[in-house]
Amino acid sequence: MIQLYDTYEGRKREFKPVERGVVRMYTCGPTVYDYAHIGNFRAYIFEDLLRRFLERSAYRVIQVMNITDVDDKTITGAAKEGVSLRDYTDKYVQAFFEDLKTLNIEPAEHYPRATDYIPDMLKLVRALKDKGFTYETEGSVYFRVASFPKYGALSKKKLEFNISGARVDNDEYEKEQWVDFVLWKKKKEGEPSWPSEFGDGRPGWHIECSAMSTKLLGETLDIHTGGEDNIFPHHENEIAQSEAASGRKFVNYWLHCRFLLVEGEKMAKSKGNFFTLRDLVKDGWDPMAVRYLLISHNYRQPLNFTKEGLKQAENTLKRFDDLASRIMSYKPEGVKDKLAASCKACREKWERALADDLNIAEALAALFDWMNEANAVLDRTDVSTAGIKAAKEFLRDIDSVLGLKIYDEIEPSEEIIDKINERTKARSAKDFAKSDCLRKEILEAGWALKDGSPGEPSLYKRRKRKWDEL
């Protein structure tokens, strides 16, 4: 049984999808006006852990992550560079996908771009208008929050309204109440716009997610995720729009991760206290250390980002690598050992911890205990083929959830294998210049060779470690 903490109900609940064996999951994605920072990636990595664990638990996951490619920031950025909105945002969409790949985040099934779904958004605005949830002022359409009594149920906010009918000035648009939000924004001179029966304009941010999630996943989603800052007003507004239009429950489980902090403050573009993944990789940090740092803390706890934390993450990766290399290169000679049994015991603890609202800290604690046990077993010579096989399978299983490439990376590419064979031949022919040269190439590709019995070199994956140079 998997338990997930649902923000809406404020408690852990047993997870049951609408359709047996299938999870429909929606994730608020990036606004593509710049590179994402690793605070954003804390949210995307928590979602990746959730997704991988659900898949590991035999669910088929259908995930949608939206790309916001029209808003004030993208419009201003495109205008500044004198390029079209599409050309401007394309660059950051590509960069975002590259970053996801660098962090080994599993791709979602759909990455809808807001500007490709304008007709669906207008259809939703129309439906809300027909049901009496909207009002129009000066060419913009607003959602009247007072007409949706459940508003505030997710964020537990008690909203105070002004005297009904009194108008308050928002920065740019006229609204009846401060809490009302725009569904369709009137065109401003020089800005991209789309024609509609409400006049030329563009969609508000919140309507995007409601329209695209319904179009791609249906009216009721199993899981909707985001960072804690999405709870209010964004997700509250999504519920209001979607439920007002469909009359059905919009989301069964709302999951939110807490912030990545820097010295106690949210990592954010506006605060200037952020690191992009690119900055860190350029400085020599291993992207898998960034992944480990972000994935290894429980998602409902704030996480403070430090370089010291990254160093520790690299240390842990080295422990994984060393054990994986030992297991890979171990020549089993024994008949009886405790390795298979200890894998089984650890797997049970691992599954139980993750099924408890993704308690990764506890899952990792069980894994570290197992690693100590496994190393102690490997120190002896009586390990069996079955023990080594179980340990290899266990590592592969663990890494299907952690996604740290612990196992993949200890299996060299064809190219490396060719080089090793060529080097072995060169050594037998006593061509040491060639053999040294090949060894250097193998080393540069991140592999260390340890010659054992002739013709049987062991391979060790080396990770580049920034802090080795400090």
Is residue 226 at the binding interface for ligand AMP, with CB under 6 A as the rule? yes
In the chain, % helix, strand, coil (3-state, to 5) comes to 50, 15, 35
Identify which of residues 154 and 209 has a Cβ nearer to Zn ion in the complex.
Answer: 209
What gap in Å lies between CA 437 and CA 448, rounded to an integer?
13
Rule CB under 5 A: which residues touch Zn ion?
Answer: 28, 209
Angle at 186 between CA 183 and CA 187, to 5 degrees: 130
Identify which of residues 257 and 358 has a Cβ nearer to ligand AMP in the complex.
Answer: 257
SS3 447: strand
Torsion of CA 38, 43, 44, 50, to 10 degrees: 140
Residue 92: other Cβ atoms inside 10 A = 20
Minimum CB distance to Zn ion, residue 306 (Å):
30
Identify which of residues 26 and 198 has a Cβ nearer to ligand AMP in the complex.
Answer: 26
Minimum CB distance to Zn ion, residue 209 (Å):
3
SS3 300: coil
Q: What residues have CB less than 8 Å from 308, skipping those under 6 apart?
A: none
Identify which of residues 90 and 200 has a Cβ nearer to ligand AMP in the complex.
Answer: 90
**Given candidates 216, 267, 340, 390, which one binds ligand AMP under the rule CB under 6 A?**
267
Binding range to ligand AMP, per CB under 6 A, among 223-231, 392-400, 411-419, 447-455: 223-231
**Residue 58 contacts residue 103 (beta carbons within 8 Å):** no
What gap in Å lies between CA 144 and CA 185, rounded to an integer?
15
SS3 255: strand
Site string for ligand AMP, 26-55 (x = CB under 6 A): --x-xx-------xx-xx------------
Residue 122: other Cβ atoms inside 10 A = 22
Is residue 213 at the binding interface for ligand AMP, with CB under 6 A as the rule? no
Is residue 290 at the binding interface for ligand AMP, with CB under 6 A as the rule? no
Residues 107-166 binding ligand AMP (CB under 6 A) are: none
Binding range to ligand AMP, per CB under 6 A, among 153-161, 196-204, 226-234, 446-454: 226-234
Binding range to ligand AMP, per CB under 6 A, among 128-136, 151-159, 254-262, 308-316: 254-262
223 beta partners: 25, 253
Binding residues (CB under 6 A) for ligand AMP: these are 28, 30-31, 39-40, 42-43, 226-227, 229-230, 257, 259-260, 266-268
